[in-house]
Amino acid sequence: MGRRLAVPAVLMLLLISLTARLEGADRYVLKVAESERFGPILTDGEGRSLYIYTNDTVGPSGSVSNCTGACTRNWPPLLADGELKAGEGVDAGLLGTIEREDGTTQVTYNGWPLYRFARDRNPGDVRGQRLGGAFFLISPEGTPVEEERQRVVEVDPATLSALMSNGEQIFSSRCAACHGNRGQGLVGPAFAGNSALARTDYVVPMILNGFVEHGMPPWRDVLSDWEIASVATFIRNSWSNEFGPVTEEEVSAMR
Ligand code: HEC
């Protein structure tokens, strides 16, 4: 009996020590991932997207994180625990650290203090991109990622016309009071000729999450993916705007 057990037990131990070693070898602070929408971006060791905050102070005499207190609930700083290890494609020379006001040590890249976004759940999530116009993904070169890859979403003419007519109804009942029935703007900004609408990755999160402090209500619990795709398509393609459709799938991926 004892002998029969001995072999599997030894094998188990071997396996455990092997996996432990493999995991150890993979414990990077920073890695590079290929984002479908944004190209190469920095991630933490587990592949979760990292962000920089444009309101941080970054300069030759050292950087200061201005995301403190409540801000860190949404944007947990990437803390250095042990050796800084750069994965493939990461420029080790750009890695650094700063001390935060609470005494913890935060990882920096090209001087930028790095954060995760609390609502990103899985590797590949980029829900924090451009939030508040202040948080951005960061490239392996150490610069904020501003451009989204040009994507051509194809929808057939029937879907496009359904999006437009549905979007027009939602717009007049839900949005026109603040944005003007001709998109001319009232309490909210004008949509006619508004180039900010060119970016799906800006428009859709804005409609989903709003900007409550500035008077823009969130619609995530009010409108479905299809309805948000419709109203986004409508405002992007009315009053001589020609920014192309937004699909239900795109909204669902950003929700
Ligand atoms: C109660 C008023 C109000 C309503 C209703 C409203 N908005 Fe807004 N919206 C605003 C305000 C105010 C802003 C500006 C927010 C800011 O300054 O960041 C805004 C900003 C936006 C922006 C960003 C525009 C830009 O130039 O940055 C989009 C897109 C938008 N709203 C879409 C919608 C859609 C779609 C609806 C309807 C489903 C809607 N809004 C309903 C008040 C409103």
Is 147 part of any domain? no
Say yes or no: CB of residue 174 within 6 Å of ligand 1: yes
The closest-lying atom of ligand 1 relative to the alpha carbon of residue 171 is: 37
Q: Do both 161 and 93 map to the same domain?
A: no
Is 78 part of any domain? yes
Indicate the residue among 106, 137, 168 that finishes a domain: 137
Q: Do both 70 and 105 map to the same domain?
A: yes
Show the DSSP H helices in 47-156 as ranges. 71-74
Predicted local distance difference test score (pLDDT) of residue 4: 58
User: 229 C-alpha vs ligand 1 centroid, how far in Å?
Assistant: 15
Is 192 part of any domain? yes
Say yes or no: CB of residue 222 within 6 Å of ligand 1: no
Predicted local distance difference test score (pLDDT) of residue 226: 98
Asked if residues 43 and 32 have their Cβ atoms less than 8 Å apart, the reply is yes
Please, what sign has the CA dihedral across residues 34, 38, 40, 44? Answer: negative
Instruction: Identify the segments of the chain with pLDDT beneath 70.
Output: 1-26, 150-152
The structure tokens 């750009």 sit at 94
Predicted local distance difference test score (pLDDT) of residue 14: 62
Q: Do both 32 and 124 map to the same domain?
A: yes
Say yes or no: CB of residue 208 within 6 Å of ligand 1: no
Predicted local distance difference test score (pLDDT) of residue 89: 94
Q: Do both 37 and 132 map to the same domain?
A: yes
Is 4 part of any domain? no
Amino acid at 159: T
| Residue of 20, 33, 115 whose CA lies nearest to 75 | 115
Is 144 part of any domain? no
Q: Do both 38 and 132 map to the same domain?
A: yes
Predicted local distance difference test score (pLDDT) of residue 18: 57
The structure tokens 């700083």 sit at 77
Say yes or no: CB of residue 186 within 6 Å of ligand 1: no
Q: How many domains does the chain have?
A: 2
Predicted local distance difference test score (pLDDT) of residue 112: 97
Predicted local distance difference test score (pLDDT) of residue 28: 82
What DSSP element (H or E) covers 112?
A: strand 112-113
Asked if residues 147 and 137 have their Cβ atoms less than 8 Å apart, the reply is no
Predicted local distance difference test score (pLDDT) of residue 60: 76
The closest-lying atom of ligand 1 relative to the alpha carbon of residue 203 is: 29
Q: Do both 208 and 178 map to the same domain?
A: yes
Q: Do both 218 and 167 map to the same domain?
A: yes
Predicted local distance difference test score (pLDDT) of residue 54: 97
Is 74 part of any domain? yes
Q: How far is 2 from 18, CA to CA, in rounded Å?
A: 24
> Would you list the DSSP string of 53-121?
ETTSB--TT--B----TTHHHHS-B-B--S---B-TT--GGGEEEEE-TTS-EEEEETTEE-B--TT--
Protein residue with its CA nearest to atom 39 in ligand 1: 175
Say yes or no: CB of residue 206 within 6 Å of ligand 1: yes
| Residue of 172, 170, 159, 152 whose CA lies nearest to 243 | 152
Q: Do both 123 and 168 map to the same domain?
A: no
Write the CB contacts of 243 (distance below 8 Å, at least 6 apart in sequence).
197, 198, 236, 237
Predicted local distance difference test score (pLDDT) of residue 17: 58
Q: Do both 126 and 187 map to the same domain?
A: no
Say yes or no: CB of residue 11 within 6 Å of ligand 1: no
CATH number of the structural domain spanning residue 186: 1.10.760.10
DSSP lists the bridge partners of residue 145 as none
Please, what sign has the CA dihedral across residues 217, 220, 223, 229? Answer: positive
Is 116 part of any domain? yes
Identify the domain containing residue 49 by its residue range.
28-137
| Residue of 6, 138, 17, 117 whose CA lies nearest to 67 | 117
Q: How far is 223 from 73, CA to CA, in rounded Å?
A: 26
Q: Do both 80 and 120 map to the same domain?
A: yes
User: How deeply is 221 buried, as exposed, middle or buried, from its count of CB atoms within 10 A (0-12, 13-18, 19+)?
Assistant: exposed
Q: Do both 165 and 223 map to the same domain?
A: yes
Say yes or no: CB of residue 178 within 6 Å of ligand 1: yes
The closest-lying atom of ligand 1 relative to the alpha carbon of residue 197 is: 29
Indicate the residue among 137, 167, 187 that finishes a domain: 137
DSSP lists the bridge partners of residue 34 as 40
Say yes or no: CB of residue 217 within 6 Å of ligand 1: yes
Which of 164, 179, 194 maximizes ligand 1 atoms within 8 Å of its Cβ, making it the mutation to test the pocket? 179
Indicate the residue among 87, 109, 137 that finishes a domain: 137
Q: Do both 120 and 49 map to the same domain?
A: yes
DSSP lists the bridge partners of residue 99 as 105
Predicted local distance difference test score (pLDDT) of residue 37: 81
26-42 confidence digits (pLDDT tens): 578 899 999 978 989 99
Is 19 part of any domain? no
Say yes or no: CB of residue 209 within 6 Å of ligand 1: no
